Amino acid sequence: MLQKLSEDTRAPLALSTLLLALLLATVPTAGAPRHAVDENPPPGLNGPQRKGLIEAIAKWPSRLLPPSAPESHVSVKLVAYNTPDHPHAIGVGQAMLVEAPITEVKKVLEDFDHYKQLFFEFKDIHVVEREGNRVTMFWEQPIPLPFVPNTTYTTYFYTFDSDPTHIFYRYQLKSSNTLKYSDGIMVLDRIDSKTTRYTEYDFFDADWGIAASLAPARIWRDSLRDIFLTDIAIKLKAEHPDWSYDKIRQECKKHWEDEYNDDSVGDIINDKKVF
């Protein structure tokens, strides 16, 4: 790093030395840690699907979830998953085609500083720490159920982009006031120069309080809606980078109302798969 010369220093630095010092000051630290795809979560926060999600990245496209057929008029395909021995856990697979280059979708996913504006159903989202290919993030989500506090949690978010045609993301829980575990992956596959296939899996369980016994279907329905809204927000921002966040919010809600209803969401919940 370039040091400031004291007032008593009379010998000027050589120009070549000065330029080298300035160059080195702007180069990222070479020793920034590269976190592994199978990095362990904090003790006690290991979800049942964690191993399967890591294997999915290693063996991709073994867990590829095909998007809905165009004639279905469904932007985001949703698939519900059971979690054995966790009766109140939520598991959701998602698939969609994004009419944008993979670089544009990647840009949206890694624009962490604007997550709060993009994912409008959250009360707060902010970066806690950046370290190599891992970003630590804080989230707060309002829970519109009686006697259930807002969910607050911190996650590790990992990026694996050595292959620009197949980009992987993985997240896992670091801490939370109500979540017992939260594991997921997102995969971007380049279809062509203007199209990207997006696949995501989310698995989580929480201390739902009295809602677990009084409104289990409500928990599932709200989870499916919120997951859909985050996915469609990513799609719309990548396809329309000039749109304001207010317009994206309005369009997200419209897509949900146009593409899903109580019956179709109920069918997804009743047709749970095993991951």
Q: What is the DSSP letter of 67?
A: P
**158, part of any domain:** yes
| Assigned domain for 156 exists | yes
At residue 28, the pLDDT reads 45
pLDDT in tens, 160-177: 999 999 999 999 999 999
**Percent of the chain having pLDDT more than 70?**
88
Q: How far is CA 205 from CA 24, 200, 237, 239, in A?
A: 46, 17, 29, 32
Segments forming the whole domain that contains residue 75:
50-274
pTM of the entire structure?
A: 0.86
Residue 41 located in a structural domain? no
Confirm whether 6 is domain-assigned.
no
Which residue bears the tokens 């294997």?
55
- Tell me, yes or no, whether 21 lies in a domain: no
Strand partners, 176: 153
Number of domains in the chain: 1
CATH number of the domain where residue 140 is located: 3.30.530.20
**Res. 1: pLDDT tops 60:** no
The CA-atom distances, in angstroms, between 81 and each of 72, 201, 203, 274 are: 21, 10, 8, 5
4 within a domain of the structure (yes/no): no
